[in-house]
Structure 1
Amino acid sequence: MSIPFKSSPVEFHQHQLFPSNIFDLLPKDHECYLYSELFEQLDTRALESQYSRKGQHAYHPKSLVSILIYAYSRGVFSSRQIERRCNEDLSFMFIAQMNCPNFRVLSDFRKNQGEFFQDCFKQTVKLAMELKLASLGHISLDGSKFKANTSKHKAMSYGRLKEKEQALCAEIDELIEKAKRCDQEEDKAYPEKTGYELPEDLKFKEDRLAKIRAAKQALEQREEKLNPGKAIDDKKQISFADTEARIMGKNGGFDYAYNAQISVDADLQIIVGQHISQNANDKQEVKAALQALEDTAGQLPDKVSVDNGYWSGGNLQTFEDNKVDAYVATDKGEKTHKIDLEKSERKVVKADFEYNETDNSFICPHGQILPMISEAKDGSRVYRGCDDVCAACPLKNRCCQSEKGHARTISTDDKEPLRRNMARKMETPSAQAVYKQRKVIVEPVFGQIKNTGFRGFSVRGKDKVAGEFSMVCAAHNFKKMAKAIFTGLIRPEFRNYAANAAI
């Protein structure tokens, strides 16, 4: 006796008498319906004005941006995969309104409309604030590395660039001389040519030389901007594929990447500010972050919390200038040690020294004064004690770090008073309570973005990368808004939700 499995419905092989809507197959509460209504709130008039009435009709920019943001929210980033989903996935078909663009259209739109995506992100922030999902009461700022669309194998050092440039110039000169001496032989070798074409090997070498010179020039411009007037180290590298990407490392690995910075609101983890940086660390990112916040939300937050990666004189000064209530984790060595120095064998750290702002000097635990011995143009300072006094000090082995037996030195900058004030502030219970919230505000957001599968960029160049990351942040904000609506946290006043009272 055969097992009575369920059989296919009789309608499976029959045509229906009356036509049905294919989207009736989707659940009535499917998220694509809500996303479609949220996307309708986007203003694309600025981009629409760039289109021409002539030629073939273009896809509506609102349709394209809706498809891309919805795809990114679902973890689909390849333009070919997005096109495939628009032809196979009912939810994608609904967002695209059964009008799926070719993958090249999607790819070119993503590549060329970076500025528009940044505007879309700003609109999501304003929409979230109108829906009372973000208040800018407490903002947490953090950064994470995302891989650039290139690799270490498509790069070359400055020294190697100079060597290859000289070698290729010599090879090209040699080929040209050989061509002049062997015109008759060349005519026999290329009988189908007119005599005006370049031989393939010569054309290849000239193209290669042009790429090397372009990369070399980009590296020189970059280093002149970062270190004006200084000689370029031959070990400095640049990528041929993306000359604006930088080598960045994490957990022992190094690759070309961009430093993506986000400012997250504490209310519902809405990203209210973001920017792309080429810096490998976060010591200069506060100014750009506050500027991005003001451009997006129109105001600065009440409180900002950041980890010790942002501990720098420049960042602290930026918070001070903008009158922002900042909570910056104290850097290692500048935090007051819990273990008493005299009752233990621990090392002597910078926090054990007292800073005298009036004399601009440090005082060691045993009373020696360390005066400033040098100050650079960027404000960095070096303080140093007396060799003889340090040599006779009982704490010498735990304090002095010089292999040559020199006195203790302390390196800092001209913002030392701000450092001391912040360190004292972060020792208070109220500041620690505020900072404790940071780990549940901003860090989960990067985890949510990376868990969707976004680990690297699909475009090249800082401006285009900034546009793509704006789309990633916009997709995140739409997901947060959709969740708030589904859970009944809010009732927006548009479409099917207008009749429902706000909670």
Structure 2
Amino acid sequence: MKTGNNYNTNQMTLEISLQFRPESDHPASLINDFIDSLNIAKNYIFGRPQVYSSPALLKLILFAYSRGVYSCRKIETFARENKYAEWLVQADCPSYRTIARFITSKEIDDIFQNFSANLISILRQHNLIDEAVYIDGTKIHANANKYSFVWRKNTIRYSELNAKKAEKLISEINEAVNLGIENYDDWELILARLENRIDELNRKIEENPKLSPNPDKQKRRKLKSKHRKLKQCIDKKLEYQKQLETYGSRNSYSKTDTDATFMRLKEDPMKNGQTKPAYNLQIATNNQFVLGYYLAQNPTDTRTLIPFLNILNNQNVLSQNIIADAGYGSETNYRFIEDHFPNCNAFIPYSTMLKEESHKWKVDDRKVMNWEYSEKDDYFVNCNGVRFNFLRYSVRHDSYGF
């Protein structure tokens, strides 16, 4: 290489093409070996008859993401200027439109079906992870209006009020016009009979068009009012039923994103604990590698552990050691791991574990574990000398039936 006064980019040079191969432990090599192990279909076809290599596109995108490049236009530039990225695509750089179409295509979903299991295999072959899975979660704000909330309690309350209103209305209709109503719960049948009675009044009015005042017109006017109100009650009933179906096991959802649940986020500019539409993203990691993820609608981490463990187990990602913080500690989760994953070790503290190790907790006279216990006769004696004998075994159920 010429430097100093001899440096000139316009001079004639003799180019010698040398084969470039990245180091074996370089991320580009690892990504290349991993994608080749997936046996992905070679060609990606989109729109017009244009074909590009699907493995090459996926290699380029993953390598660009690992370098903090996320924009499709920047990935195109990255493929032209970075020699490792250029090696992954074999100097056949795709346009940003091709990259954007590939990222949003259905083919990506098909590729990710066997993605996790193959990733774990490659990482273990290179000794990059061990037999442990670290689980944690974070809440991500949904792209929905923060004032578009719908609450289950309000739906139930309004549904009950609507039922009382309809029952009163049907009773008034039955008193005004005897429709032979026996079942007040069949609102559609009552509405149909009311429409038949209105049709009868219409025929009577047409037979005597010159009669004035016409009592049938007064009856028709009242029945039309009752018909309109009962129709509104039926529409509201259907609306509340649809809302309850949308809730599922949740207590809220957003009108503009029905999959999002209202929960408290760490980023709270109002500092008042205001709930916002969000998702609870659960991630399993090891040595800074993401091994699996689960997008939950439940705001509490305790309720997300069991379905997440099932997902990891189905994808052959679950390791021998399960490690999580106290937010996942519950009797339900401990029992589930013991029953369904007996070969796994759960390193999950319960909520008061750290507090119990403190001096303040150990000297607190109100804590039962600090009382004197007689194992022979099975009784406790508190610090004031009061004896507490065993009374009975009891079983209680939480709101989820455990």
Give the residue type in structure 1 aligned to 2:254.
I
CA-based RMSD of the aligned residues comes to 4.7
Aligned counterparts, 1:112-127, within 5 A: 112=106, 113-127=108-122
Q: Is structure 2 residue 249 aligned with structure 1 residue 226? A: yes
CA–CA separation in structure 1 for the residues paired with 2:240 and 2:80: 45
Aligned counterparts, 1:54-453, within 5 A: 56-111=49-104, 112=106, 113-136=108-131, 139-145=132-138, 147-148=140-141, 150=143, 152=145, 156-158=148-150, 220-223=244-247, 225-227=248-250, 236-238=252-254, 240=256, 242-251=257-266, 253=268, 256-265=277-286, 270-297=289-316, 301-321=319-339, 322-323=341-342, 324-332=344-352, 336=356, 338-339=358-359, 344=363, 346=364, 348-349=366-367, 365=382, 366-368=386-388, 375-376=396-397, 378=399
Cα distance, 1:257–1:218 mapped onto 2, change above 3 Å: farther
When the two structures are aligned, how many residues end up with a matched partner? 299
Deviation by residue 1:114-161 (Cα, 9 ceiling, x = unmatched)? 34234223211112233444452xx243223263562556x61238xx
CA–CA separation in structure 1 for the residues paired with 2:85 and 2:293: 27
Q: Is structure 2 residue 11 aligned with structure 1 residue 14? A: yes
CA contact (8 A) 1:85 1:92 kept: yes
CA contact (8 A) 2:323 2:348 kept: yes
CA contact (8 A) 1:307 1:329 kept: yes
Looking at both structures, which has the greater relative contact order when contacts are Cα pairs under 8 Å and sequence separation is at least 6? 1
Quote the sequence identity (%): 19
| TM-score when normalising by structure 2 | 0.58
Deviation by residue 1:358-406 (Cα, 9 ceiling, x = unmatched)? xxxx9794445787999446467xxxxxxxxxxxxxxxxxxxxxxxxxx
User: Aligned residue for 1:43?
Assistant: 38
Cα distance, 1:81–1:117 mapped onto 2, change above 3 Å: farther
CA–CA separation in structure 2 for the residues paired with 1:271 and 1:122: 12
**Stretches of structure 1 lacking an aligned partner (at least 5 in a row):** 163-214, 356-361, 381-413, 415-503
CA–CA separation in structure 1 for the residues paired with 2:51 and 2:244: 41
**Stretches of structure 2 lacking an aligned partner (at least 5 in a row):** 156-238, 269-274, 374-378
CA–CA separation in structure 2 for the residues paired with 1:37 and 1:91: 11
User: Aligned residue for 2:208?
Assistant: none
CA contact (8 A) 2:253 2:277 kept: no
| TM-score when normalising by structure 1 | 0.48
CA contact (8 A) 1:261 1:274 kept: yes
CA–CA separation in structure 1 for the residues paired with 2:46 and 2:73: 28
Cα distance, 1:364–1:114 mapped onto 2, change above 3 Å: farther
Deviation by residue 1:282-340 (Cα, 9 ceiling, x = unmatched)? 20233233323323337x53332321111122211111112132222121279646548
CA contact (8 A) 2:140 2:280 kept: no
Cα distance, 1:378–1:370 mapped onto 2, change above 3 Å: farther
Q: CA deviation at 1:73?
A: 0.8
Larger radius of gyration: 2
CA contact (8 A) 2:23 2:29 kept: no
Give the residue type in structure 1 aligned to 2:283.
I
